[in-house]
Structure 1
Amino acid sequence: MTATTERATAPETRGSDARDSEHVDVLVVGAGVSGIGAAHHLRERFPDRSFVLLDAQDNRGGTWWTHRYPGVRSDSDLFTYGYRFKPWRGPSIAAGEEILDYLDEVIEEDDLAGRIRYHHRVTAASWSTEDRRWTVEVTRGDTGEQLRITTDFLWMCQGYYNHAEPYRPRWEGMDRYRGQVVHPQQWPQDLDLTGTRVVVVGSGSTAATLVPAIAQDAEHVTMLQRSPSYFLAMPLVHELAVTLRQLDVPEDWTHEIVRRAYAAQTNELARLSHEAPDELHEFLMESLRPLLPEGFDVDKHFTPRYRPWQQRIAFVPEGDLFTALREGRASIVTDTIDTFTETGIRVGSGEEIPADVVVTATGFDLSAFGDVDFSVDGEPVEFPERVTWRGIMISGIPNMAYVFGYFRHSWTLRADLVSDVVLRLFETMQAKGATMVVPTLRPEDADMQIRPWSDPENFNAGYVLRSQHVLFKQGDREPWTHMLEHAQEAELLPRADLEDGTLVYR
Structure 2
Amino acid sequence: MTEAATLPKTAADAATRHFDVIIVGAGISGVGAAYHLAEQRPGTRFTVLEALDSFGGTWLTHTYPGIRSDSDLYTFGYRFKPWVGPPIATAAEILSYMGEVIAENDLARHIRYGRRIASARWSSRDKLWTLEVNGPDGPETYTTNFLWMCQGYYRHSVGYTPEWPGMEDFQGRIVHPQTWPSDLDLTGKKVVVIGSGATAATLVPNIAGDCEHVTLLQRSPTYFVPGRNENELANTLRQLEIDESWIHEIVRKKVLFDQHEFTRRAIEETDAVKTELLEGVKAFLGEDFDIAKHFTPRYRPWRQRIAFVPDGDLFQGIASGKASVVTDEIERFTQTGLLLKSGQTLDADVIITATGFDLSVLGDIAFEVDGEPLDFAKTVTYRGMMFTGLPNLVWVFGYFRASWTLRADMIGDFVCRLLAHMDQKGVKQVEVALRPEDQDMRIGAWIDPEDFNPGYLMRNMHLLPQAGDKPEWRHTQDYWTEKDIFPAIDLDDPAFRYS
Give the TM-score taking structure 2 as reference length: 0.97
Displacement, 1:128?
A: 0.9
CA distance in 2, matches of 1:170, 1:135: 38
CA distance in 1, matches of 2:299, 2:185: 36
Q: What's the Cα RMSD here?
A: 1.4
Are the aligned partners of 1:405 and 1:411 in contact in 2 as well (CA < 8 Å)?
Answer: yes
Equivalence for 1:419: 412
Q: What stretches of structure 2 of length at least 5 have no aligned partner?
A: none
Question: Which one-letter code corresponds to 1:70 in the other structure?
Answer: P
Identify the match of residue 272 of structure 2 among 266, 279, 290.
279
SS in structure 2 opposite 1:345?
strand
Equivalence for 2:47: 52
SS in structure 1 opposite 2:236?
helix
- Number of equivalenced pairs: 497
CA distance in 1, matches of 2:491, 2:477: 19
Identify the match of residue 108 of structure 2 among 100, 113, 128.
113
Equivalence map 1:479-490=2 (5 Å): 479-490=472-483
Equivalence map 1:356-375=2 (5 Å): 356-375=349-368
Equivalence for 1:403: 396
Question: Which one-letter code corresponds to 2:454 in the other structure?
Answer: A
CA distance in 1, matches of 2:143, 2:292: 56
Displacement, 1:484?
A: 2.7
- Tell me the alpha carbon deviations over residues 202-255 of structure 1, each in whole angstroms, 9 at most, x when there is no partner: 000000000000002111110000001001112211111111111111001111
Would you identify which runs of 4 or more consecutive aligned residues in structure 1 move more than 4 Å? 16-21
Equivalence for 1:168: 161
More displaced, 159-168 or 409-418? 159-168
Identify the match of residue 81 of structure 1 among 69, 72, 76.
76
More displaced, 327-336 or 433-442? 433-442
Equivalence map 1:77-476=2 (5 Å): 77-140=72-135, 142-143=136-137, 145-476=138-469
Are the aligned partners of 2:24 and 2:150 in contact in 1 as well (CA < 8 Å)?
Answer: yes
Question: Which one-letter code corresponds to 1:395 in the other structure?
Answer: T
Equivalence for 1:65: 60
Are the aligned partners of 1:406 and 1:483 in contact in 2 as well (CA < 8 Å)?
Answer: no
Are the aligned partners of 2:4 and 2:113 in contact in 1 as well (CA < 8 Å)?
Answer: no
SS in structure 2 opposite 1:216?
coil
User: Does residue 1:42 correspond to 2:37, yes or no?
Assistant: yes
Are the aligned partners of 1:83 and 1:413 in contact in 2 as well (CA < 8 Å)?
Answer: yes
More displaced, 196-205 or 475-484? 475-484
- Tell me the alpha carbon deviations over residues 171-220 of structure 1, each in whole angstroms, 9 at most, x when there is no partner: 11211111110000000112111111110000000000000000021111
CA distance in 1, matches of 2:399, 2:185: 35
Are the aligned partners of 1:20 and 1:148 in contact in 2 as well (CA < 8 Å)?
Answer: no
SS in structure 1 opposite 2:217?
strand
Give the TM-score taking structure 1 as reference length: 0.96
- In 2 relative to 1, CA 10–359 (structure 1 residues): closer, same or farther, beyond 3 Å? closer
Displacement, 1:294?
A: 4.8
Equivalence for 1:26: 21
- In 2 relative to 1, CA 295–10 (structure 1 residues): closer, same or farther, beyond 3 Å? closer
More displaced, 154-163 or 261-270? 261-270
SS in structure 2 opposite 1:309?
helix
Displacement, 1:21?
A: 5.7
Q: Percent identity?
A: 53
CA distance in 1, matches of 2:433, 2:283: 54
Question: Which one-letter code corresponds to 1:193 in the other structure?
Answer: L
SS in structure 2 opposite 1:107?
helix
